[in-house]
Copies of this chain bind each other. A is one copy, B any other.
Amino acid sequence: MKRQREIKAVLFDIDDTLFDSTTLAKMARMNAIKAMIECGLPIRNVQKGYSLLMKIVEKYGSNYDEHFDRLLEALGCSRDPKIIAAGIVAYHDTKLGYIKPNPDVIPTLIALGDKRCTLGIVSNGRSVKQWEKLIRLGLHHFFDAVIISEDAGSEKPQSKIFKVAIEELGVKPEETVYAGDDPETDGLGANTAGLISVRIIKQERRESVLNKNMQPKFAIKKISELLSILEPT
């Protein structure tokens, strides 16, 4: 039996899988720092401001709303709404320029649909924020199930969030592919839940050896390579 008969659903992570969220966040934060300096943030070096901001992002998490307020505090400044607003505007303007699907994503989703694959999303994060990304990416009509951790009450690498998705789609784990970039959440979670794990490798680099339970069934560099996994020659 050919493998394409076995795979009925393909589920995706969003960030760094459907679009380059790492570059988006870095460029948006760098431009925010530049705009804040232009409005009076007392720091000369953009890179130093960026490093300080990243410490705050790590401390408070990426979904925290007041990174720029904390940055001012860390620099010993009183709250300055002009500087904060300059950072917010630059961040969002930059975001809009970078929130585009990777070039092969839409053709691949269409091709998977043509092969009668059901498509879905399994992603950690706040549900409205993740839906905003799908809508800005122009991808929100492709998926029959969109499962976000905030709604699911479970987050990757836990199995439950994957089970919620496959139950909503009416498919079995062994006939479902999960494609994501992060072995520790995506790989481990998909493997534990019994799905076929596919790792999207962001860039060529030497990495530490992965634990066996994080190792993907397949590793690919572009989403379009999913098509050859479904149709092995």
Residues of A within 8 A of B (CB): 39, 81-82, 84-86, 88-89, 92, 96, 127-132, 134-136, 140, 146, 148, 150-151
Contacts and interface: CB of A to CB of B under 8 A. Distances in A.
14 contacts: A81-B130, A81-B131, A81-B148, A81-B150, A82-B131, A84-B131, A85-B128, A85-B129, A85-B132, A86-B135, A89-B132, A89-B135, A89-B136, A96-B96
A82 B146 contact: yes
Nearest to A129: B85
* Interface majority SS (helix, strand, loop, mixed), chain A: helix
Contact of A151 (B39, B81, B130, B150): B81
Contacts of A85: 128-129, 131-132, 134-135
B88 A39 contact: no
Given A81-B148, A88-B132, A89-B132, 20 more contacts: A39-B140, A81-B127, A81-B128, A81-B130, A81-B131, A81-B151, A82-B131, A82-B135, A84-B128, A85-B128, A85-B129, A85-B131, A85-B132, A85-B134, A85-B135, A86-B131, A86-B140, A88-B128, A89-B136, A92-B92
